[in-house]
Amino acid sequence: MTIQKATHFNEETKTMEYEKSTPKIWAQDLLMDMISTYNYRLEEGREGTDEMTEKELAQCMEQLKKQADRIAKLFGFDKHWIT
């Protein structure tokens, strides 16, 4: 079996197209994908934020963005892609 990562969806054939990958790149892509969706999950459910004031929530979200950017920089990106 070959480690692959999706590159794009081919509209003509209606299939995903893949390229070979390494375990390191595969793991980085998976983590960055999870990080990139954190904002959507928090907006939908706001897990653990019920008792926060708007100011506290804004501070926590800003801190979450900073931490996501730090992780992205470890992987060689300028910043995570949901800012």
Question: Which pLDDT score, from 0 to 100, does residue 77 have?
Answer: 78
What are the sequence ranges of the domains in the chain?
Answer: 4-74
- Cβ contact 15:4 at 8 Å: no
Cα–Cα dist 3/25, whole Å: 10
CA dist., res. 22 & res. 4, Å (int): 8
* Model confidence pLDDT, tens digit, residues 32-52: 888 777 766 666 656 667 777
Pairwise pLDDT comparison (80 vs 75), residue with the higher score: 75
Q: Is 50 in a helix, a strand, or coil?
A: coil
Which among 66, 67, 61, 68 is positioned nearest to 43, based on CA atoms? 61
The reported pLDDT for the residue numbered 76 is 81
